[in-house]
Structure 1
Amino acid sequence: MKTFHCGSLVPGCDWHTRADSEAEVVSRVVDHLRQSHGETTIRPSIIEQIKERMSDEQNAA
């Protein structure tokens, strides 16, 4: 499971998401950046920053 916390990219934002695939997390983050932060252009460098800040979440037993 991949997780992403928006505050790691946009200080002060408490939004976070998680999904099984990296691609799904990136898609959700891009949607969030557009809707909540007014981003109109998502450059490849932003995608790379999202991927760098993504982490693996271990399922609790």
Structure 2
Amino acid sequence: MRTFHCGSLVPGCDWHTRAEEDAEIVARAVDHLRQTHGESIIRPSIVEQIKARISEEENVS
């Protein structure tokens, strides 16, 4: 499972998502940036920053 935490891109934001595919995470993150942070234009550099911050979710035992 892959995960993305918006706070790694937008300090102070607690939103996060997880999915099997990075493309699904990017789509959710872009939607979140538009709805929550008021971003109307999502530049390719932002998409690359999202991708760079996606990580493998660690299993917590």
User: Same fold by TM (over 0.5)?
Assistant: yes
Aligned residues with identical type, % of pairs: 72
Deviations 1:16-50 (A, max 9, x none): 00001000000000000000000000000000000
Q: Match for residue 39 of structure 2?
A: 39
Gaps of 5+ in 2: none
Q: Which runs of 5+ in 1 are unaligned?
A: none
Q: For residues 60 and 13 of structure 2, what CA distance do their matches in structure 1 show?
A: 26
Supply the distance in 1 between the matched residues of 2:19 and 2:48 (Cα, whole angstroms).
17
1:17 is aligned to 17
Normalising by the residue count of structure 1, what TM-score does the alignment of the two structures yield?
0.93
C-alpha distance in 1, partners of 2:51/2:21? 11
Q: Structure 1 residue runs of 4+, over 2 Å off?
A: 58-61
Secondary structure of the 1:40 match is coil
Match of 2:41, SS state, is coil
